[in-house]
Structure 1
Amino acid sequence: MTPEQLAAAITAALEQAVAAGDLAVEVPREVRVERPRSQEHGDWTTNVALQLAKAAGMPPRELATHLAGRLDAVDGVAGVDVAGPGFLNIRLDAGSAGELARTIVAAGTAYGTNDALDGQVINLEFVSANPTGPLHIGHTRWAALGDALRRLLQASGARVTAEHYINDAGSQMDKFGASIVARARGAEVPEGGYAGEWIEDLATRLLTERPDLLDLPDAEATALARARGYELQLQQIKDTLEEFRVEFDVWFSEKSLHDSGEVERAVARLREQGHVFDAEGAVWLRTTDFGDDRDRVLIRANGEPTYFASDAAYYLSKKDRGFPQKVYMLGADHHGYVGRLKAIAACAGDDPATNIEVLIGQLINISGERMGKRRGNAVFLTDLLEWIGSDPVRYSLARYPADSPLDLDGEELRKRSNDNPVFYVQYAHARTCNVAKLAAEDGVDRDGGFDPALLAHPTEAALLAALGDFPRVVAQAARLREPHRVARYLEELAGHFHTWYVECRVRPVDVDEEITDLHRTRLWLNDATRQVLANGLGLLGVTAPERM
């Protein structure tokens, strides 16, 4: 019996009680079951009696006792206890609990997917780096978390478009081009320009392609460097994200908003909504009506649109492209954007509470021997991939809430020990693969027999309960936008598996031992664990190695 099936059985018991006149209450659409903190309290617990007691007009324990009597009669339920103020602690019989192993193996990669967000259409914007330099450590955190969230939302039934907003308009692009030209000429970069080593690399590349660059007038050389440098730098960003296994459906150019006239049309649309006013020669959006700390300038007195005008046009573009829900994942220095983006949503006629969500990621630092040898303070994603590798970086960033500052030790992330969480989880998967390989060599195969009632060892009950919790964890992580819940779950699951591996044998102990259904059934449990570990790692964009 899966947790979903148990929840359905509780719902059915409530409906039967209402139909019999024993309860007068509206049956909730969803009944939640969770693993109790202590295995001694049973396999699953629910607080549905506490939730419905007031509406039913009876004490929670009385309602829970009534439901317990009905649930005791359900096939696969070994017993139900009423605990505390009205919790229902439910124990499944070994056969019912063990059947989950076969369910997971049959479901394969689909196990863990759910319909918690079915029907939701979401635009998920993350990373959105300026194409004026390589991706740095701040981008890396959102790349890992954003892509994991994309996978989680899709696994929970949402239609998700992952989008990268290319900040390719404005003065920073002119400074970018001028910086490349300056380096090509052996001069210092202009004030406010870019002085990184990558600028010298771009200058060298451009001189190879266009030896006449040095002979061009300043304006023409800058325009050429801006255009070609942009192409090269954007491609480098795309290549790095691909190596990091981060996928985007849309690469949206800020410049296209200006070139197509979308910025001007956005201002006109907002004016029609009654939220635009003119003052001091400029055009303003009255965002204070919707909680912003001050009104925002859309068009400066000199006629130039502001970045805020681009933000407004971009929001309206997302709305026009059919995205009711818009999730922005922004860096630690963007706290001020929350109020103004929500104000844009309100001015556009949307509900800021439901149509827009702004997530802020906190700062991250990765220290270690390799960083101590670097020149300067820049830490780029390419460096991290070369030094630590994609899996440890992605997993380590995914296992902490986005709003918590991080200080990670790069050398620790490289260690192949159980103290390293990503190694601990990946090793559990590799161990399941090795168990299956050796079992096959001994003649143990799943086709020979499956008796779920044989999975009666305490470590098997704990492992099955953890496996059964995976779909709930995925759904909750998606709803709360918290991929770290999956990482912490995988570590707990790996711990249950390692303990079970020590206590329970899948293979015969010696060559004379007869292969029985117990061996075969335990192989099902081993393979179910392998599947869940692989599925969970996949949601985080981390590989599931077969050997380590």
Structure 2
Amino acid sequence: MNSKNWFSERSLFSSGEYEETIDFLREKDYLSERDGALWFNSVMLGDDKDNVIVKTSGESTYFASDIVYHRNKLIKRKFESVVDIWGADHQGHVPRMKSAVEALGIDRDRLTVLICQMVTLRRGQDVMRVSKRGGNLITLREVADEVGIDACRYSFLAKAPSTQMEFDLEMVKKESNENPVFYVQYAHARNASIIELARERGIDWSNGDISLLTHPSELDLIRALLRLPELVDEMATILEPHHLPHYATELANNFHNFYENCRVVSSNESDTAITAARLKLVEAALIVFRRTLTLMGMTVPNRM
């Protein structure tokens, strides 16, 4: 994962933004002092309880920093919208964060919070037990080192954030159709090998007539290829990238069916026209596979 910006929580205090935010909320009567602590009056904005932002010890809470940080993004840096990705154990914090945004004079709909469920790791049928308290943890780096970054990216993308995820460390290492990571990348490699073979034989398919493509497997593949632009637009709108891995698997299935049912490179002179047309289709599929794998941050192997 590449991050364009790493933000220091400490800078919120050293820059004076923390004090600015506290003063603003105090002026708007969203803060009150009770029992030696400073409270954010969340109930005023529809929450079921108020929330402490400065403890009796004088220490600021994480919630206080969150308020200042969202002010920094939505007001100081003028983000049109903010998407937070939180773990399921923070789901109860969403209403108060939305209320804080509203208290800052910002439309609460400019903040979207996606809640991600926990991940269960398995080795085949065996569930791997992890415990924060027991110090028995498995890091993402350790998982990536074992199964590869491609398998991690595909697997984590393939599940909707709201869905409980089971990550089978053994399955994603299999070189078989049972493993969707292998299945998708192998489809691209198969594409690439067909194009390579055609070039080795000196076949020119630049003027291939795609109107000759009438076999059901050809038409299914064409329809699948045409779906990508619309799918990307839809995912960006509804913030659901998990549709892309599923699309990649469906596309691979369409291509493998096409490959099994329609011979692409033929040495028969009578097949010259259909060979050129099918190579045109394979070339288009190669482009779409590359774009799909790249969008998922995965490598694009030409051989497997």
State how far apart, in whole Å, the 1-side matches of 2:18 and 2:135 are: 38
Q: Partner of 1:496 in structure 2?
A: 254
Find 1:264's aligned residue among 8, 19, 25. 19
Q: Partner of 1:135 in structure 2?
A: none
Confirm or deny that 1:464 pairs with 2:219: no
Alignment of 1:245-284 (within 5 A): 246-284=1-39
Q: Describe the superposition over 1:267-314 as per-residue Cα deviations: whole angstroms up to 9, x where unpaired.
A: 111223332223333322211222322111222334332222111111
State how far apart, in whole Å, the 1-side matches of 2:204 and 2:157 are: 36
* AA partner of residue 343 (structure 1): S
Report the 3-state secondary structure (helix = DSSP H, G, I; strand = E; otherwise coil) of the residue aligned with 1:336. Answer: helix
Report the 3-state secondary structure (helix = DSSP H, G, I; strand = E; otherwise coil) of the residue aligned with 1:294. Answer: coil
Report the 3-state secondary structure (helix = DSSP H, G, I; strand = E; otherwise coil) of the residue aligned with 1:252. Answer: coil
Q: Describe the superposition over 1:232-276 as per-residue Cα deviations: whole angstroms up to 9, x where unpaired.
A: xxxxxxxxxxxxxx0111101111112223212111112233322
Cα-Cα RMSD: 2.1
Confirm or deny that 1:323 pairs with 2:82: no
Distance 1:372 1:337, change over 3 A: closer
State how far apart, in whole Å, the 2-side matches of 1:500 and 1:515 are: 17
Does the 8 A contact of 1:254 with 1:310 survive in 2?
yes
Confirm or deny that 1:435 pairs with 2:191: no
Find 1:484's aligned residue among 242, 246, 267. 242
Find 1:405's aligned residue among 164, 168, 171. 164
Does the 8 A contact of 1:439 with 1:506 survive in 2?
no
State how far apart, in whole Å, the 1-side matches of 2:298 and 2:174 are: 16
Report the 3-state secondary structure (helix = DSSP H, G, I; strand = E; otherwise coil) of the residue aligned with 1:544. Answer: coil
Q: TM-score scaled by structure 1?
A: 0.52
Does the 8 A contact of 1:401 with 1:484 survive in 2?
yes
Alignment of 1:75-474 (within 5 A): 246-319=1-74, 320-352=76-108, 354-368=109-123, 377-447=136-206, 449-474=207-232
Report the 3-state secondary structure (helix = DSSP H, G, I; strand = E; otherwise coil) of the residue aligned with 1:327. Answer: strand
State how far apart, in whole Å, the 2-side matches of 1:545 and 1:288 are: 55
State how far apart, in whole Å, the 2-side matches of 1:376 and 1:310 are: 28
Q: Partner of 1:523 in structure 2?
A: 279
* AA partner of residue 454 (structure 1): L
Report the 3-state secondary structure (helix = DSSP H, G, I; strand = E; otherwise coil) of the residue aligned with 2:24. Answer: helix
* AA partner of residue 274 (structure 2): L
* AA partner of residue 192 (structure 2): C
Deviates more, 1:471-480 or 1:374-383: 374-383
Find 1:507's aligned residue among 265, 269, 289. 265
Report the 3-state secondary structure (helix = DSSP H, G, I; strand = E; otherwise coil) of the residue aligned with 2:72. Answer: helix
State how far apart, in whole Å, the 2-side matches of 1:289 and 1:461 are: 59
State how far apart, in whole Å, the 1-side matches of 2:65 and 2:84 are: 15
Q: Describe the superposition over 1:157-206 as per-residue Cα deviations: whole angstroms up to 9, x where unpaired.
A: xxxxxxxxxxxxxxxxxxxxxxxxxxxxxxxxxxxxxxxxxxxxxxxxxx
CA drift at 1:503: 1.6
State how far apart, in whole Å, the 1-side matches of 2:112 and 2:104 are: 15
Q: TM-score scaled by structure 2?
A: 0.92
Report the 3-state secondary structure (helix = DSSP H, G, I; strand = E; otherwise coil) of the residue aligned with 2:53. Answer: strand
Does the 8 A contact of 1:444 with 1:515 survive in 2?
no
Report the 3-state secondary structure (helix = DSSP H, G, I; strand = E; otherwise coil) of the residue aligned with 2:299. Answer: coil
Does the 8 A contact of 1:398 with 1:483 survive in 2?
yes
Does the 8 A contact of 1:270 with 1:347 survive in 2?
yes
Does the 8 A contact of 2:210 with 2:280 survive in 1?
no
State how far apart, in whole Å, the 1-side matches of 2:46 and 2:287 are: 47
Does the 8 A contact of 2:264 with 2:278 survive in 1?
yes
Alignment of 1:17-56 (within 5 A): none
Does the 8 A contact of 2:120 with 2:128 survive in 1?
no
For structure 1, list consecutive stretches of 5 or more residues without a partner in the other structure.
1-245
State how far apart, in whole Å, the 1-side matches of 2:88 and 2:231 are: 27
State how far apart, in whole Å, the 2-side matches of 1:372 and 1:304 are: 38
Distance 1:371 1:259, change over 3 A: farther
**Which structure is richer in relative contact order (CA contacts within 8 A, separation 6 or more)?**
1
